[in-house]
Amino acid sequence: MGQVCQSFKSLMQLQLQDEKLPPLLSSFDMEGIAGYIAEKGCKQVVVMCGAGISTSAGIPDFRTPGTGLYDNLQRFNLPRAESIFELKFFRKTPQAFYELVRELWPGNYEPTPAHYFLRLLNEKGILRRCYTQNIDSLEGRAGLPAEKLVAAHGNFDEAHVIDTWPEIKVPVHELKRALDAGEEGWKELKKAKGGLVKPKIVFFGEALPDRFNRLHMTDLAACDLLIVMGTSLVVYPFAGLVGVANKSAPRLLINRDQAGTCDTLESGFRFHLQGEDNWRDVFHKDDCDAGCRTLAEHLGWKDDLEALIQSEGRVSVCNAPWV
């Protein structure tokens, strides 16, 4: 058994050696990333983002202790916080999810500087795609065109009746009207449609949208830089995209804390490792807005970013009821 493990370990080490490349960056920091973008003329940047790009808009993330949704869902009396995104619980107690949906409905929050940075990457002609776990649609509200976005966990663009096959679609404005009318409203909608209606937000155990499955392998293979922002990288399959990124693409994480690290296999970030064990990963510990501004500054795009934010005239003001 010991021998088998030893052979397996040697095999993995061999594979790892094969995968290693000479350092891709002149320095493993924002300056190094900006220099790489300019020198190599990157044009296939892929961004992955999570709830951390929207916290400055007033929408809490999931897991930050104290302010995260998981710590603040007690008012819904859930058996556990994750239940709010479970079909089993929704079927029995839809009120909890419906209250959350009403609060998060697009239009209640404004984009953050990090969202405008996504749009800037696109306007500079270097964004291949943005993969978001967020359901708040703030990327689009900041002006990122729909073809550049993959809403991996769904959003409020569509609604459907659960437990139906083939799926029965419901216009989202009907759901909105029903939710605005309170408990009577969604009960009437349920009766009219023959089942509970939910926005197409991916619940635990549900399949990710076709668009995600169709695009992610080619996008990640073609990417020449991966930027990951505001995510704990614990939800799969989304988090697995980090490991699929082209081996010759540097990877940058902008986050309050390290996430997605991996020592043994090339499936996660390696910025915590020294020397040749890390040839491409950078961790920039900061808030997403500040990190994006720092990168924009290093790229000589500081004024462009600020002008974009100002021109839209709508940037986040943190006034959420739950923070």
CB of 222 or CB of 286, closer to ligand CNA = 286
Q: Tell whether residue 50 is a contact of ligand CNA (CB under 6 A).
A: yes
Question: Applying CB under 6 A, does 59 fall inside the site for ligand CNA?
Answer: yes
Binding residue ranges for NAD(+): 51-55, 61-63, 133-136, 231-232, 255-257, 288
Angle made by CA atoms 242, 24, 280, in degrees to the nearest 5: 30
Q: Which DSSP symbol is given to 281?
A: E
Residue from 127, 135, 223, 308 in contact with ligand CNA (CB under 6 A): 135
61 binds ligand CNA (CB under 6 A): yes
Q: Which two tokens stand for residue 215?
A: 């695009």
Return the CA Rg of the chain: 21
Tell me which of 115, 153, 160, 298 is the catalytic residue. Answer: 153
Spatial distance between the Cα atoms of 24 and 41, rounded to a whole number of angstroms: 14
Do residues 206 and 161 touch, judged by C-beta distance below 8 A? no
130 is a site residue for ligand CNA (CB under 6 A):
no
Residue 59 or residue 223: which is nearer to ligand CNA going by CB?
59
Asked if 133 is part of the footprint of ligand CNA (rule: CB under 6 A), the reply reads yes
Task: Of 106, 101, 108, give the one whose Cα is nearest residue 85.
Answer: 101
Q: Is 153 a catalytic residue?
A: yes
From the CB of 140, what's the least distance to ligand CNA, in Å? Answer: 12
CA distance 164 to 274: 52
Smallest Cα–Cα separation from 256: which of 2, 52, 46, 35? 52
Looking only at residues 213 through 242 of this chain, which bind ligand CNA when binding is defined by CB under 6 A?
A: 230-232, 234-235
Amino acid (one-letter) located at 302: K
Question: Taking CB under 6 A as the rule, does residue 43 contact ligand CNA?
Answer: no
Q: Is position 141 an interface residue for ligand CNA (rule: CB under 6 A)?
A: no
Q: How many residues bind ligand CNA (CB under 6 A)?
A: 29
Sign of torsion over alpha carbons 124, 126, 129, 135:
negative
Least distance between ligand CNA and beta carbon 190 (Å)? 24
Give the closest residue to 226 by CA, choosing from 5, 45, 1, 32. 45
Nearer CB in complex with ligand CNA: 112/122: 112
Helix or strand holding residue 178 (H, E)? helix 172-180
Tell me: does residue 294 bind ligand CNA (CB under 6 A).
no
Position 127 contacts ligand CNA (CB under 6 A): no
Rounded Cα–Cα distance for residues 93 and 89 (Å): 6
Q: Which residue has the tokens 């400055």?
A: 56
Contacting ligand CNA within 20-39 (CB under 6 A): none
Q: Hey, which residues are catalytic here?
A: 153
> Which residues of this chain interact with ligand CNA, rule CB under 6 A?
50-52, 54-56, 59, 61-64, 68-69, 133-136, 153, 230-232, 234-235, 255-257, 259, 287-288
